[in-house]
Amino acid sequence: MLEIKGLYAKVEGREILKGIDLSVKSGEVHAIMGPNGSGKSTLAQVLAGREAYEVSGSALFNGTDLLSLSPEDRAVAGVFLAFQYPVEIPGVGNLYFLRTAFNAIRKQRGEEEMDAIDFLALAKERMKSVEMDVSFMSRSVNEGFSGGEKKRNEVFQMAILEPTLAILDETDSGLDIDALKIVANGVNALRGKERAMIVITHYQRLLDYIVPDRVHVLAHGKIVRSGGKALAFELEKTGYAEFEKKVA
Amino acid sequence: MSGVQTEIRALADREYKYGFVTDLDMDTAPRGLSEDVVRLISAKKNEPGWLLAWRLKAYRHWLTMSEPQWQNVKFPPIDYQDIIYYAAPKPKKSLKSIDEVDPAMRAMFDKLGISLAEQGRLSGVAVDAVVDSVSVATTFKDKLAKVGVIFCSFSEAVKSHPALVQKYLGSVVPYTDNRYATLNSAVFSDGSFCFIPKGVRCPMELSTYFRINAADTGQFERTLIIAEEGATVSYLEGCTAPMRDKNQLHAAVVELVALEGASIKYSTVQNWYPGDAEGRGGIFNFVTKRGKCAGANSKISWTQVETGSAITWKYPSVILQGDHSIGEFYSVALTANRQQADTGTKMIHIGKNTRSTILSKGISAGHGQNTYRGLVKIGKSATGARNHTQCDSLLLGSQCGAHTFPYMEVKNKTAQVEHEASTSKIDEEQLFYCRQRGIKAEDAVSMIVNGFCREVFKELPMEFAVEAQKLLSVSLEGCVG
């Protein structure tokens, strides 16, 4: 589904991604682990289309040149990024925001848009998977949300928008065990043959709950090692120092 | 931010969809201002002597005044002799019912989207349509008359309720008040008059449409709204104007009087022609609006959404004379392209335990210059006065400006005056968040800006709120920064 070859990314003159190769098949969950500064978030943002970066290389998404698409068009193509630090948008209601996004994507795909009443019903149903309360609907996007609530909101949005490629950028950061379990449940409920996920994290702990098919270690902008889920346990024991040495 | 930069292209010249001219037979005065012109206006309207005398006092006072210099808006000197001060469309016959309105005029109203004929079918909004200085038709007079509400043109009120007009005219904005109000007092043509008697809750929202039609005709509207003890009224003012190459001066005066326990809500959505991308043409909106909470426990609330005009210069204010009276000012002002605004409010606390709330949202885009100027004046006698001011500016782009001049004069030590201000731009992160969810950049900007204005839009009557949001979205096209 996703074929990345020789992906380089630079920002403000600094090269962050130094030739990433990655292949993700439909139905798979890939974990990307690495120390701070390795380029994990950059990879997520570059795949989502953040324009601050100078990018070269290729990323084919179901045969389409992903890097040539605008962020909106990537969303229409089925890409979703669960942000590490979701921003607040004061004055814009959560439900209104989601419905606008939902219908914008549908419109671009030539599909029928959903009215407010039907959308509310859909939202109420999907909210259950992340144990969110109806009351949050009327609140502004992420405004006054705790860290856990923000992350749950990201997964809730994913549940509504039903992407084919979901990139989760440190979805576990700032979460306690209980919140982590809720978020993981929400993510697992969305796993499927038609969907692929890239789960970015520091810690092995998340991967106890969201079990990956493949694990990759990112250090200094390159993938230095790939393996099965056991690789995550290995990392837990040895830390990242070994892998950083290899690239340096 | 290369992608965002490309979005900054385009649409400095948004299509002004209300730009058109209607050919009507105009009965116009000769160009220029003189005592003769003032007399002509008064004579055309068959005004009583006291009103002509008032106009002349104002005109003579105007001759002694000079142009103000303190404002933060720039414009070429106004040639007062190059303006026509009176224009009346010739009626084909005297109007007894809506059906008899001049068909060309009816067509114009249709284009504006307010077919008078339709008003009857709409859920109760009475419309006083003012066309270039003369009110054409006033609807729902009968329905309102049943509860004793008077809603008619100012000219009509002078004839039918002279005592009321004489009592309150100039009581809130004296004819000496300022250069433009004084001019208005001399040459005002027409406007709205509303009177809500004791204890009456006006059963429908009252509304007025304005339109500047003939070239070089300034609009000098005069509106007077009186709410007697315990009365309530909500008034909507919405404007459109056709395209012109020459600046048009709009110097209206609005006076509101709220007696004991009364409440007046005055909402404005202003979309006058703002000028082209280079700043040519466009309306000069120099308006004096003031309300007096004359009685105890009265309340006056101003809500405005200003997206048009080349220059907006107005301070809808409230004089809080009555004890426990409340004044409110909610404003969204947009300046894009080369628009300028110097707007805000004055809350004058005189009585005891008075309260005022100011919420100003300024949005600047293009080369727009947006100034908030507010005065909170707590008089010596104003024990227990409270004010809360929140003044937020949003800058879209790097060529625009937002300026704030808050004035606080506090002469009573029991007063509580709070002021908060913020200046922001549209966060690129917010924009990216929306785009990643599939929302196009322009729609995202629109959504975020509407969110920024939400607290003000909440104060508008529902139908106006919808119009205001749409208006803001249209006005923002191309303004991504």
- Span B210-250, pLDDT tens digits: 334 333 445 888 999 999 999 999 998 875 444 444 558 88
Q: Where residue B124 falls among pLDDT bands split at 50, 70, 90?
A: very low
The nearest CA of chain A is from the CA of B432 a distance in Å of: 7
Q: Is residue B451 part of a domain?
A: no
CATH (domain of A138): 3.40.50.300
- Beta carbons of A91 and B433 less than 8 Å apart: no
Partner residue facing A91 (CB), from B433, B441, B454 = B454
The overall average pLDDT reported for chain B is: 82
Least confident among A105-114, B25-34, B211-220, B305-314: B211-220
More confident residue, B471 or B128: B471
B contacts of A105 (beta carbons < 8 Å): 438
Q: Is residue A48 part of a domain?
A: no
- Beta carbons of A101 and B439 less than 8 Å apart: yes
- Beta carbons of B447 and A87 less than 8 Å apart: no
- Beta carbons of A75 and B1 less than 8 Å apart: no
Whether the per-residue pLDDT at B118 is higher than 70: the answer is no
Joined together, the tokens standing for residue B208 give 């007025």
- Answer whether A78 touches B (CB < 8 Å): no
Q: Is residue A6 part of a domain?
A: no
Q: Is residue A65 part of a domain?
A: no
* Whole-number pLDDT of residue B240: 43
Nearest alpha-carbon partner for B358 in B295, B429, B309, B407: B407
Joined together, the tokens standing for residue A34 give 């690495």
- Beta carbons of B3 and A105 less than 8 Å apart: no
| Domain count for chain B | 1
Residue B329 Cα distances to B77, B268, B269, B299, angstroms: 30, 11, 14, 11
- Beta carbons of B437 and A157 less than 8 Å apart: yes
State the count of interchain CB pairs (< 8 A) between A and B: 80
CA dist., res. B17 & res. B11, Å (int):
14
Whether the per-residue pLDDT at B429 is higher than 70: the answer is yes
Whether the per-residue pLDDT at B25 is higher than 70: the answer is no
* Structural domain boundaries, residue A175: 27-41+71-247
Which residues sit opposite B361 in a β-bridge?
Answer: B332, B392
| Domain count for chain A | 1
* Whole-number pLDDT of residue A9: 93
Interface probe for B, chosen from A76, A88, A89 (most Cβ of B below 10 Å), is: A89
* Structural domain boundaries, residue B129: 19-430
Whether the per-residue pLDDT at B441 is higher than 60: the answer is yes
Whether the per-residue pLDDT at B90 is higher than 90: the answer is no
Question: ipTM of this predicted complex?
Answer: 0.95
Q: Is residue B118 part of a domain?
A: yes
- Beta carbons of B455 and A91 less than 8 Å apart: yes
* Whole-number pLDDT of residue B83: 87
Whether the per-residue pLDDT at B122 is higher than 90: the answer is no
Partner residue facing B448 (CB), from A71, A75, A92 = A92
For residue A116, the 8-state DSSP code is H
Q: Where residue B65 falls among pLDDT bands split at 50, 70, 90?
A: very high
Helix (H, G, I), strand (E, B) or coil at B74: coil
- Beta carbons of B447 and A97 less than 8 Å apart: yes
Rounded to an integer, the average pLDDT of B13-20 is: 44
Whether A90 and A143 have beta carbons less than 8 Å apart is answered as: yes
Rounded to an integer, the average pLDDT of B457-478 is: 81
CA dihedral B444, A11, A43, A209 (to 10 degrees): -80
Partner residue facing B437 (CB), from A51, A88, A101 = A101
What sign results for the dihedral spanned by CA atoms A138, A140, A145, A148?
A: positive
The DSSP-derived string for B105-152 is: HHHHHHHHT--HHHHTTSSS-EEEEEETTEEEEE-SHHHHHHTT-EEE
Q: Is residue B45 part of a domain?
A: yes
Partner residue facing B3 (CB), from A51, A80, A98 = A51
pTM: 0.81
* Whole-number pLDDT of residue A137: 84
Which residues sit opposite B201 in a β-bridge?
Answer: B232
* Whole-number pLDDT of residue B215: 39
* Whole-number pLDDT of residue B105: 52
- Answer whether A155 touches B (CB < 8 Å): no
- Beta carbons of A80 and B434 less than 8 Å apart: no
**Which residue type sits at A14?**
R
- Beta carbons of A89 and B448 less than 8 Å apart: yes
The nearest CA of chain A is from the CA of B325 a distance in Å of: 29
- Collect the ranges in chain A with pLDDT lower than 70: 245-248
B contacts of A76 (beta carbons < 8 Å): 438
